[in-house]
Structure 1
Protein backbone atom coordinates (compact mmCIF):
# COMPACT_ATOMS: atom_id res chain seq x y z
CA UNK A 1 0.00 0.00 0.00
CA UNK A 2 1.09 3.60 -0.59
CA UNK A 3 1.58 5.72 2.51
CA UNK A 4 2.73 9.26 3.07
CA UNK A 5 4.78 9.86 6.20
CA UNK A 6 5.55 13.33 7.56
CA UNK A 7 8.70 13.19 9.66
CA UNK A 8 10.50 15.87 11.66
CA UNK A 9 14.18 15.04 12.13
CA UNK A 10 17.43 16.74 13.13
CA UNK A 11 18.77 18.76 10.19
CA UNK A 12 22.31 17.43 10.08
CA UNK A 13 24.40 15.43 7.62
CA UNK A 14 23.26 11.82 7.50
CA UNK A 15 19.91 12.47 9.20
CA UNK A 16 17.86 11.76 6.11
CA UNK A 17 19.95 8.68 5.37
CA UNK A 18 19.25 7.28 8.84
CA UNK A 19 15.51 7.63 8.33
CA UNK A 20 15.79 6.04 4.89
CA UNK A 21 17.79 3.16 6.35
CA UNK A 22 15.24 2.64 9.13
CA UNK A 23 12.38 2.64 6.63
CA UNK A 24 14.22 0.09 4.50
CA UNK A 25 14.75 -2.12 7.56
CA UNK A 26 11.00 -1.99 8.17
CA UNK A 27 10.34 -3.18 4.61
CA UNK A 28 9.24 0.16 3.16
CA UNK A 29 10.28 1.11 -0.37
CA UNK A 30 10.83 4.89 -0.57
CA UNK A 31 9.32 6.27 -3.77
CA UNK A 32 9.64 10.00 -3.16
CA UNK A 33 10.95 12.49 -0.58
CA UNK A 34 9.73 16.09 -0.39
CA UNK A 35 11.49 18.57 1.90
CA UNK A 36 8.83 20.87 3.38
CA UNK A 37 11.03 22.98 5.64
CA UNK A 38 14.48 23.35 7.18
CA UNK A 39 14.72 25.68 10.14
CA UNK A 40 15.62 25.75 13.81
CA UNK A 41 18.01 22.83 13.39
CA UNK A 42 15.25 20.50 12.20
CA UNK A 43 13.84 19.43 8.86
CA UNK A 44 10.31 18.33 8.00
CA UNK A 45 10.10 15.83 5.15
CA UNK A 46 7.26 13.96 3.48
CA UNK A 47 8.13 10.40 2.43
CA UNK A 48 5.92 8.54 -0.02
CA UNK A 49 6.53 4.85 0.52
CA UNK A 50 5.25 1.54 -0.69
CA UNK A 51 4.68 -0.64 2.35
CA UNK A 52 4.28 -4.38 1.90
CA UNK A 53 1.06 -5.87 3.17
CA UNK A 54 -1.68 -4.18 5.15
CA UNK A 55 -0.11 -1.66 7.53
CA UNK A 56 -2.27 0.77 9.49
CA UNK A 57 -1.23 4.35 9.99
CA UNK A 58 -0.86 3.79 13.74
CA UNK A 59 1.42 0.76 13.19
CA UNK A 60 3.66 2.72 10.84
CA UNK A 61 3.80 5.64 13.27
CA UNK A 62 4.71 3.34 16.18
CA UNK A 63 7.55 1.70 14.27
CA UNK A 64 9.06 5.00 13.10
CA UNK A 65 8.73 6.80 16.43
CA UNK A 66 11.36 4.47 17.88
CA UNK A 67 14.12 6.31 15.96
CA UNK A 68 16.11 8.71 18.17
CA UNK A 69 15.45 12.38 17.50
CA UNK A 70 12.68 11.62 14.99
CA UNK A 71 9.10 12.82 15.42
CA UNK A 72 6.38 11.36 13.23
CA UNK A 73 3.89 14.14 12.53
CA UNK A 74 1.55 12.09 10.37
CA UNK A 75 1.04 8.84 8.50
CA UNK A 76 -1.80 8.53 6.04
CA UNK A 77 -2.75 6.59 2.89
CA UNK A 78 -2.16 8.34 -0.41
CA UNK A 79 -3.24 7.76 -3.99
CA UNK A 80 -0.72 10.17 -5.48
CA UNK A 81 1.67 8.22 -7.67
CA UNK A 82 5.22 9.58 -7.26
CA UNK A 83 6.57 11.06 -10.46
CA UNK A 84 3.12 11.92 -11.78
CA UNK A 85 2.44 15.54 -12.69
CA UNK A 86 -1.09 16.01 -11.37
CA UNK A 87 -0.72 19.80 -11.10
CA UNK A 88 0.34 20.11 -14.74
CA UNK A 89 -2.44 17.76 -15.83
CA UNK A 90 -4.95 19.90 -13.94
CA UNK A 91 -3.75 23.11 -15.56
CA UNK A 92 -3.84 21.54 -19.02
CA UNK A 93 -7.48 20.48 -18.48
CA UNK A 94 -8.42 23.95 -17.25
CA UNK A 95 -6.64 25.64 -20.18
CA UNK A 96 -8.51 23.36 -22.59
CA UNK A 97 -11.90 24.06 -21.01
CA UNK A 98 -11.68 27.21 -18.84
CA UNK A 99 -15.45 27.43 -18.37
CA UNK A 100 -15.19 24.32 -16.17
CA UNK A 101 -12.04 25.59 -14.45
CA UNK A 102 -13.24 25.53 -10.85
CA UNK A 103 -15.15 22.27 -11.18
CA UNK A 104 -11.97 20.69 -12.57
CA UNK A 105 -9.89 22.25 -9.79
CA UNK A 106 -12.18 20.97 -7.05
CA UNK A 107 -12.15 17.46 -8.52
CA UNK A 108 -8.33 17.45 -8.66
CA UNK A 109 -7.41 19.03 -5.32
CA UNK A 110 -7.91 15.94 -3.11
CA UNK A 111 -5.34 14.02 -5.18
CA UNK A 112 -2.97 16.98 -5.31
CA UNK A 113 -3.13 17.63 -1.57
CA UNK A 114 -3.37 14.12 -0.11
CA UNK A 115 -6.89 14.91 1.08
CA UNK A 116 -10.31 13.28 1.17
CA UNK A 117 -12.45 15.95 -0.50
CA UNK A 118 -12.73 19.55 -1.62
CA UNK A 119 -15.47 21.98 -2.52
CA UNK A 120 -16.00 25.56 -3.62
CA UNK A 121 -18.40 27.75 -1.64
CA UNK A 122 -20.04 30.92 -2.89
CA UNK A 123 -18.91 33.83 -0.70
CA UNK A 124 -22.29 35.55 -1.04
CA UNK A 125 -24.55 32.84 0.37
CA UNK A 126 -22.28 29.93 1.41
CA UNK A 127 -23.85 27.57 -1.14
CA UNK A 128 -21.73 24.74 -2.53
CA UNK A 129 -20.98 25.57 -6.17
CA UNK A 130 -18.63 22.67 -6.95
CA UNK A 131 -17.84 19.52 -4.94
CA UNK A 132 -15.51 16.56 -5.37
CA UNK A 133 -16.47 12.99 -4.62
CA UNK A 134 -17.00 12.39 -0.87
CA UNK A 135 -17.57 16.12 -0.19
CA UNK A 136 -20.60 17.04 1.91
CA UNK A 137 -23.63 18.56 0.22
CA UNK A 138 -23.55 21.48 2.66
CA UNK A 139 -20.65 23.01 4.53
CA UNK A 140 -20.73 25.80 7.09
CA UNK A 141 -17.76 28.16 7.03
CA UNK A 142 -18.88 30.94 9.39
CA UNK A 143 -16.01 33.39 8.84
CA UNK A 144 -14.01 32.72 5.67
CA UNK A 145 -10.44 34.02 6.18
CA UNK A 146 -9.19 36.78 3.86
CA UNK A 147 -6.15 34.76 2.80
CA UNK A 148 -5.11 31.12 2.52
CA UNK A 149 -5.22 29.47 5.95
CA UNK A 150 -5.63 26.18 7.79
CA UNK A 151 -7.91 25.12 10.62
CA UNK A 152 -9.20 22.00 12.35
CA UNK A 153 -12.90 21.17 12.36
CA UNK A 154 -14.76 18.02 13.44
CA UNK A 155 -11.68 15.76 13.30
CA UNK A 156 -10.80 17.14 9.87
CA UNK A 157 -7.87 19.32 8.88
CA UNK A 158 -8.99 22.05 6.52
CA UNK A 159 -7.16 24.22 4.00
CA UNK A 160 -9.08 27.38 3.16
CA UNK A 161 -8.34 29.19 -0.11
CA UNK A 162 -10.27 32.39 -0.94
CA UNK A 163 -10.87 33.33 -4.58
CA UNK A 164 -12.34 36.78 -4.12
CA UNK A 165 -12.40 37.70 -7.81
CA UNK A 166 -14.62 34.69 -8.49
CA UNK A 167 -16.73 35.10 -5.37
CA UNK A 168 -15.65 31.66 -4.14
CA UNK A 169 -13.90 30.03 -1.23
CA UNK A 170 -12.19 26.68 -1.87
CA UNK A 171 -12.06 24.21 1.05
CA UNK A 172 -9.82 21.13 1.08
CA UNK A 173 -10.32 18.53 3.84
CA UNK A 174 -7.97 15.86 5.16
CA UNK A 175 -9.14 13.32 7.75
CA UNK A 176 -6.21 10.95 8.29
CA UNK A 177 -3.15 13.12 7.93
CA UNK A 178 -1.59 16.02 9.83
CA UNK A 179 -2.35 19.73 9.65
CA UNK A 180 -1.64 21.10 6.18
CA UNK A 181 1.93 22.39 6.12
CA UNK A 182 2.49 25.96 4.96
CA UNK A 183 4.38 24.60 1.92
CA UNK A 184 1.23 22.65 0.94
CA UNK A 185 -0.94 25.73 1.44
CA UNK A 186 1.38 27.92 -0.65
CA UNK A 187 1.43 25.37 -3.48
CA UNK A 188 -2.35 24.99 -3.48
CA UNK A 189 -2.85 28.77 -3.35
CA UNK A 190 -0.63 29.23 -6.41
CA UNK A 191 -2.56 26.57 -8.32
CA UNK A 192 -5.87 28.22 -7.36
CA UNK A 193 -4.53 31.60 -8.54
CA UNK A 194 -3.54 30.18 -11.93
CA UNK A 195 -6.90 28.45 -12.35
CA UNK A 196 -8.69 31.70 -11.45
CA UNK A 197 -6.77 33.56 -14.17
CA UNK A 198 -7.43 30.85 -16.76
CA UNK A 199 -11.12 30.65 -15.85
CA UNK A 200 -11.63 34.38 -16.46
CA UNK A 201 -10.68 33.92 -20.12
CA UNK A 202 -14.06 32.44 -21.05
Structure 2
Protein backbone atom coordinates (compact mmCIF):
# COMPACT_ATOMS: atom_id res chain seq x y z
CA UNK A 1 0.00 0.00 0.00
CA UNK A 2 1.04 3.61 -0.57
CA UNK A 3 1.65 5.67 2.55
CA UNK A 4 2.86 9.15 3.30
CA UNK A 5 4.95 9.60 6.45
CA UNK A 6 5.72 12.96 8.02
CA UNK A 7 8.90 12.51 10.01
CA UNK A 8 10.82 14.96 12.19
CA UNK A 9 14.46 14.20 12.96
CA UNK A 10 17.69 15.98 13.98
CA UNK A 11 19.05 18.13 11.15
CA UNK A 12 22.56 16.73 11.11
CA UNK A 13 24.68 14.84 8.57
CA UNK A 14 23.59 11.23 8.20
CA UNK A 15 20.19 11.62 9.90
CA UNK A 16 18.21 11.38 6.65
CA UNK A 17 20.20 8.30 5.67
CA UNK A 18 19.40 6.72 9.02
CA UNK A 19 15.68 7.22 8.48
CA UNK A 20 15.98 5.75 4.98
CA UNK A 21 17.90 2.72 6.27
CA UNK A 22 15.30 2.02 8.93
CA UNK A 23 12.47 2.26 6.43
CA UNK A 24 14.39 -0.14 4.21
CA UNK A 25 14.83 -2.68 7.00
CA UNK A 26 11.07 -2.53 7.61
CA UNK A 27 10.46 -3.41 3.98
CA UNK A 28 9.34 0.03 2.82
CA UNK A 29 10.33 1.21 -0.65
CA UNK A 30 10.93 4.98 -0.58
CA UNK A 31 9.41 6.51 -3.70
CA UNK A 32 9.78 10.21 -2.93
CA UNK A 33 11.07 12.58 -0.25
CA UNK A 34 9.68 16.10 0.12
CA UNK A 35 11.58 18.57 2.31
CA UNK A 36 9.18 20.71 4.35
CA UNK A 37 11.32 22.34 6.99
CA UNK A 38 14.90 22.86 8.13
CA UNK A 39 14.73 24.97 11.28
CA UNK A 40 15.77 25.01 14.94
CA UNK A 41 18.11 22.07 14.51
CA UNK A 42 15.44 19.71 13.24
CA UNK A 43 14.20 18.65 9.81
CA UNK A 44 10.67 17.73 8.75
CA UNK A 45 10.29 15.62 5.62
CA UNK A 46 7.40 13.82 3.98
CA UNK A 47 8.27 10.33 2.73
CA UNK A 48 6.07 8.65 0.13
CA UNK A 49 6.61 4.93 0.50
CA UNK A 50 5.30 1.67 -0.83
CA UNK A 51 4.66 -0.40 2.27
CA UNK A 52 4.38 -4.19 2.14
CA UNK A 53 0.97 -5.55 3.01
CA UNK A 54 -1.66 -3.56 4.84
CA UNK A 55 0.36 -2.16 7.72
CA UNK A 56 -1.69 0.19 9.89
CA UNK A 57 -0.51 3.66 10.83
CA UNK A 58 0.10 2.74 14.48
CA UNK A 59 2.43 -0.12 13.51
CA UNK A 60 4.47 2.13 11.23
CA UNK A 61 4.68 4.83 13.87
CA UNK A 62 5.70 2.44 16.63
CA UNK A 63 8.50 0.86 14.61
CA UNK A 64 10.04 4.19 13.61
CA UNK A 65 9.63 5.94 16.94
CA UNK A 66 12.04 3.60 18.73
CA UNK A 67 14.93 5.32 16.92
CA UNK A 68 16.46 8.03 19.15
CA UNK A 69 15.69 11.55 17.91
CA UNK A 70 13.06 10.52 15.36
CA UNK A 71 9.48 11.66 15.78
CA UNK A 72 6.75 10.37 13.45
CA UNK A 73 4.22 13.19 13.18
CA UNK A 74 1.73 11.42 10.93
CA UNK A 75 1.12 8.39 8.73
CA UNK A 76 -1.70 8.37 6.19
CA UNK A 77 -2.70 6.72 2.90
CA UNK A 78 -1.96 8.67 -0.26
CA UNK A 79 -2.95 8.55 -3.92
CA UNK A 80 -0.13 10.77 -5.13
CA UNK A 81 2.01 9.64 -8.03
CA UNK A 82 5.70 9.91 -7.06
CA UNK A 83 7.71 11.97 -9.52
CA UNK A 84 4.64 13.63 -11.00
CA UNK A 85 4.44 17.41 -11.37
CA UNK A 86 0.77 18.25 -10.66
CA UNK A 87 1.47 21.99 -10.45
CA UNK A 88 2.95 22.04 -13.96
CA UNK A 89 0.10 19.95 -15.30
CA UNK A 90 -2.43 22.29 -13.71
CA UNK A 91 -0.81 25.39 -15.16
CA UNK A 92 -0.61 23.75 -18.60
CA UNK A 93 -4.36 23.09 -18.62
CA UNK A 94 -5.13 26.59 -17.36
CA UNK A 95 -2.96 28.17 -20.06
CA UNK A 96 -4.69 26.03 -22.71
CA UNK A 97 -8.19 27.10 -21.57
CA UNK A 98 -8.06 30.29 -19.44
CA UNK A 99 -11.86 30.51 -19.45
CA UNK A 100 -11.99 27.47 -17.16
CA UNK A 101 -9.01 28.56 -15.07
CA UNK A 102 -10.67 28.50 -11.68
CA UNK A 103 -12.72 25.34 -12.28
CA UNK A 104 -9.50 23.63 -13.37
CA UNK A 105 -7.79 24.93 -10.23
CA UNK A 106 -10.44 23.36 -7.99
CA UNK A 107 -10.33 20.04 -9.85
CA UNK A 108 -6.54 19.74 -9.67
CA UNK A 109 -5.66 21.47 -6.39
CA UNK A 110 -6.04 18.41 -4.10
CA UNK A 111 -3.12 16.69 -5.84
CA UNK A 112 -0.86 19.67 -5.11
CA UNK A 113 -0.92 19.22 -1.34
CA UNK A 114 -2.16 15.66 -0.76
CA UNK A 115 -5.68 16.84 0.07
CA UNK A 116 -8.83 14.74 -0.17
CA UNK A 117 -10.97 17.32 -1.97
CA UNK A 118 -11.40 20.99 -2.85
CA UNK A 119 -14.25 23.42 -3.35
CA UNK A 120 -14.57 27.03 -4.47
CA UNK A 121 -17.03 29.20 -2.59
CA UNK A 122 -18.14 32.78 -3.19
CA UNK A 123 -16.17 35.15 -0.98
CA UNK A 124 -19.29 37.24 -0.47
CA UNK A 125 -22.04 34.70 0.14
CA UNK A 126 -20.18 31.50 0.99
CA UNK A 127 -22.15 29.73 -1.75
CA UNK A 128 -20.45 26.67 -3.22
CA UNK A 129 -19.52 27.46 -6.83
CA UNK A 130 -17.44 24.47 -7.92
CA UNK A 131 -16.17 21.27 -6.34
CA UNK A 132 -13.68 18.53 -7.16
CA UNK A 133 -15.14 15.12 -7.85
CA UNK A 134 -14.24 13.84 -4.37
CA UNK A 135 -15.87 16.78 -2.57
CA UNK A 136 -19.25 16.63 -0.80
CA UNK A 137 -22.25 18.15 -2.56
CA UNK A 138 -22.32 20.90 0.08
CA UNK A 139 -20.15 21.96 2.99
CA UNK A 140 -22.95 21.00 5.38
CA UNK A 141 -22.50 17.41 4.22
CA UNK A 142 -18.76 17.45 4.87
CA UNK A 143 -17.82 15.55 8.00
CA UNK A 144 -17.52 17.91 10.94
CA UNK A 145 -18.10 21.13 8.97
CA UNK A 146 -21.82 21.53 9.59
CA UNK A 147 -22.41 24.72 11.55
CA UNK A 148 -18.96 26.19 10.89
CA UNK A 149 -19.28 29.93 10.29
CA UNK A 150 -18.76 31.15 6.73
CA UNK A 151 -16.24 33.71 7.95
CA UNK A 152 -14.05 30.95 9.37
CA UNK A 153 -13.89 29.35 5.92
CA UNK A 154 -13.32 32.59 4.00
CA UNK A 155 -10.68 34.58 5.90
CA UNK A 156 -9.05 37.64 4.38
CA UNK A 157 -5.65 35.96 4.19
CA UNK A 158 -4.50 32.44 3.31
CA UNK A 159 -4.84 30.28 6.39
CA UNK A 160 -5.27 26.79 7.77
CA UNK A 161 -7.96 25.56 10.12
CA UNK A 162 -8.70 22.35 12.01
CA UNK A 163 -12.33 21.31 12.40
CA UNK A 164 -12.60 18.05 14.28
CA UNK A 165 -10.49 15.51 12.37
CA UNK A 166 -10.66 17.55 9.17
CA UNK A 167 -7.80 19.91 8.29
CA UNK A 168 -8.64 22.81 5.96
CA UNK A 169 -6.66 25.26 3.88
CA UNK A 170 -8.45 28.39 2.70
CA UNK A 171 -7.01 30.63 -0.01
CA UNK A 172 -8.61 33.87 -1.22
CA UNK A 173 -8.81 34.20 -5.01
CA UNK A 174 -9.65 37.92 -5.35
CA UNK A 175 -9.50 37.87 -9.16
CA UNK A 176 -12.54 35.58 -9.21
CA UNK A 177 -14.26 36.67 -5.99
CA UNK A 178 -13.74 33.16 -4.65
CA UNK A 179 -12.12 31.21 -1.86
CA UNK A 180 -10.40 27.92 -2.62
CA UNK A 181 -10.91 25.52 0.28
CA UNK A 182 -8.94 22.28 0.45
CA UNK A 183 -9.62 19.52 2.95
CA UNK A 184 -7.39 16.78 4.32
CA UNK A 185 -9.55 14.16 6.02
CA UNK A 186 -6.64 11.87 6.96
CA UNK A 187 -3.18 12.86 8.09
CA UNK A 188 -1.70 15.98 9.70
CA UNK A 189 -2.54 19.64 9.38
CA UNK A 190 -1.23 21.40 6.31
CA UNK A 191 2.39 22.47 6.71
CA UNK A 192 3.44 26.05 6.02
CA UNK A 193 5.46 24.80 3.03
CA UNK A 194 2.29 23.28 1.55
CA UNK A 195 0.38 26.50 2.13
CA UNK A 196 3.12 28.54 0.43
CA UNK A 197 3.11 26.21 -2.58
CA UNK A 198 -0.64 26.49 -2.99
CA UNK A 199 -0.50 30.29 -2.66
CA UNK A 200 2.01 30.55 -5.52
CA UNK A 201 -0.08 28.34 -7.79
CA UNK A 202 -3.24 30.34 -7.06
CA UNK A 203 -1.41 33.57 -7.87
CA UNK A 204 -0.28 32.24 -11.26
CA UNK A 205 -3.71 30.82 -12.09
CA UNK A 206 -5.25 34.19 -11.24
CA UNK A 207 -2.93 35.90 -13.72
CA UNK A 208 -3.60 33.36 -16.47
CA UNK A 209 -7.35 33.42 -15.88
CA UNK A 210 -7.82 37.17 -16.22
1:64 aligns with 2:26: no
Report Cα offsets for 1:39-92 as digits up to 9, x if no partner.
111000111111111122222222222221111111111111111111111110
* TM-score, L = length of structure 1: 0.95
Distance 2:96 2:55 in 1: 40
The answer for the alignment partner of 2:145 in structure 1 is: none
Report Cα offsets for 1:119-154 as digits up to 9, x if no partner.
000011111111012212222552222211111013
Aligned to 1:109, what secondary structure does the other structure show? helix
Distance 1:156 1:171 in 2: 12
Equivalence map 1:92-171=2 (5 Å): 92-139=92-139, 140-143=148-151, 144-171=154-181
Which range moved further: 170-179 or 142-151?
142-151
Structure 1 residue runs of 4+, over 3 Å off? none
Indicate conservation of the 8 Å contact 1:117/1:174, yes or no.
yes
Indicate conservation of the 8 Å contact 1:127/1:138, yes or no.
no
Distance 2:165 2:54 in 1: 24
Report Cα offsets for 1:85-135 as digits up to 9, x if no partner.
111111101111111111111111112211111000001111111101221
The answer for the alignment partner of 2:143 in structure 1 is: none
Distance 1:135 1:77, change over 3 A: same
Aligned to 2:75, what secondary structure does the other structure show? strand
Unmatched tracts of structure 2, length 5 or more: 140-147
Distance 1:171 1:117 in 2: 8
Unmatched tracts of structure 1, length 5 or more: none
Distance 2:58 2:202 in 1: 33
* TM-score, L = length of structure 2: 0.91
Aligned to 1:32, what secondary structure does the other structure show? strand
Task: Tell me the C-alpha RMSD between the 2 structures.
Answer: 1.2
Indicate conservation of the 8 Å contact 1:126/1:141, yes or no.
no
Aligned to 2:69, what secondary structure does the other structure show? coil
The answer for the alignment partner of 1:44 in structure 2 is: 44
1:196 aligns with 2:191: no
Q: Number of residues paired by the alignment?
A: 200
